[in-house]
Structure 1
């Protein structure tokens, strides 16, 4: 019987997930829009293997991604690759279900949190996940029920930590208050959209949470659906993601969209001065923020992932002077009430 591949962090950097003791790679790999669709098993294995060999230990999925097929693909790939479970940090999310019409097939009731996670674990072929997140807030379920349910799955060994995704700061505060009052485990991080064009919530709204709880963030859409790569500077290519999302493509022709494209052109000049690409610049900029625990990368091809992972090497070049040039181009920094960034 061959031994499991040994995890080698290479030059990867690791951060605590919020105020927890869990260490996550600052660049992680996500399966949204990537795994469980038209991609075959070998292609999935190639992506996970490449990420692992570059020191990525954190992998993100959700019950809703491809109707549960993303979890199946990720779990099978990890099994086939023979990785030690203890080397990996697996994050999944519960809320949207997998498409069931059952009235309890989605949401954050105790029933769905427990049964939904059980189903996720079965698809992943794992005994536990490291982090289970509430994929969205559920205003129809009392917060005390949500907090107790996530504590239940932790206490029964099905997860080590729990978190949120796109919750308001008020909802996160409420969850912490209830956990504190009842002596329960609070959430440790939020999975939120954050990029050069989407900054208000993570930089301003969450600022008090960082200071009060050491709350962390796991970031999705760091490239603003590909806009920050520069590939839409001259229109929407037929083979691009936005070609199949007309509403998103239409935004590029709005006044704000046109202004953002012009900003990308200027950001490309800054990237060129650093001998890099606007893609790598945008990813490194996001990862450089101190309250970001990990930036989730999504790629369908190994060469895309290889390119994205170069963001790690750019971090040391993002000096205060470079950051000032970026801010001058963006001109959209929220006026946070507390410290953010460096």
Structure 2
């Protein structure tokens, strides 16, 4: 297991992060994602820690708070030293009693949300507190000031964001710098070989501003697990058959799966491992969030850290998954050719 610098901080996290969305589902959407209860969840957390994973991600909204409860109890039952694990959770969605202020990014909701999460997790602080979505009703400055208060009070160590556009992230970073507030150190976003939209605007921003990237749904909701293909019927009850998310252009995804299957067969590894290994080879990625319902699935995902892709294999995967050209990208590419060549020549001397 390798460890990577987290954003513009001195914190190091494992290149794989255990996601807990499969914990606690009892009905509705959450039951389709996962129904793992305490004993099974502890087995997965214990196996992850043994493999060197020091990063666990959850959210207040997962299974109506049950995921946080199970995660916190598991850390206690397994007697995990607090300084050996980095715990991340999120705030935004509706939890607890319903009302006009029970969701969003207002100071009101954030302050209530962090107290509830700390209680469910049985912790005295949260290492990474993330905004789960963009709130058009709350001024960004209010949100950032509330998060900075939590950092100053010691309830939260670092803050991050999830599912924001590039311009929103950049605006927030500017406000934080101008006002001297804690800044977003990470983005949690969807990114797969079959869904590379993030590369257009967000990835360059993250690299420029030293913001870490946590990848959610790296197997596109199971589509890249190896169970699916152009002529492959998934087993009944598979996640994609009951919960078709995130949206994917299937033709391109199947093309990617065909190439990944060929590479996987040559290396003697699964399609899922190739999909995860591709992400781990991307410089912009800090940590890939993996979720599982069974230990064998978790072990298969963890094994991706040992898969090395050569230049020709990466080139083949890049070609089959390439995004179609879009403006202004193709114009920037065209206009920057000469200056990039100058940079390359100067650095080679």
Question: Under a length normalisation based on structure 2, what TM-score does the superposition of the two structures give?
Answer: 0.87
Shift of the 266–204 alpha-carbon distance from structure 1 to 2, 3 Å rule, reads same
Matched, 1:324 2:322: no
Q: Which residue of 1 aligns with 2:301?
A: 308
What is the deviation of 1:195? 0.3
Offset from partner CA, 1:154-180 (integer Å, 9 cap, x none): 111111000100111111111111111
Match of 2:19 among 8, 30, 54: 30
The DSSP-based 3-state class of the residue aligned with 1:228 is coil
Q: Could you tell me whether the CA contact under 8 Å between 2:206 and 2:213 is conserved in 1?
A: no
SS for the counterpart of 2:184 is coil
Unaligned runs of 5+ in 1: 1-11
Which residue pairs with 1:280 in the alignment?
273
Structure 2: how far apart are the matches of 1:334 and 1:162? 34
Take 2:23 and 2:37, find their aligned partners in 1: how far apart are those partners?
Answer: 11
Q: Tell me how far apart the structure 2 counterparts of residues 333 and 228 of structure 1 sit (CA, whole Å).
A: 21
Cα distance change on mapping 1:331 and 1:212 into 2, 3 Å: closer
Q: Secondary structure at the match of 2:21?
A: coil
Shift of residue 216, structure 1, vs aligned partner: 1.1
* Equivalent residue for 2:195, pick from 186, 193, 198: 198
Instruction: Say whether residues 1:76 and 2:73 are aligned partners.
Output: yes
**CA distance 1:29–1:289, shift in 2 (3 Å):** same
Q: 1:187 matched to which residue of 2?
A: 184
TM-score, structure 1 normalization:
0.89
Q: How many residues align?
A: 320
After superposing on structure 2, the runs of 4+ consecutive aligned residues of structure 1 that deviate more than 4 Å are: 333-339
The within-5 A match list for 1:256-271 is 256-271=249-264
- On the 8 A contact 1:136/1:164 being kept in 2, the answer is yes
Contact 1:267 1:329 in 2 (8 A): no
Gaps of 5+ in 2: 27-34, 334-339, 341-349
1:217 to 213, 216, 228: 213
* Alignment partners' CA distance in 2, 1:164 and 1:112: 16
CA RMSD of aligned residues (A): 2.0
CA separation of 1:103/1:333 partners in 2, compared to 1, >3 Å: closer, same or farther? same
C-alpha displacement at 1:333, in angstroms?
Answer: 7.0
Q: CA deviation at 1:36?
A: 5.1
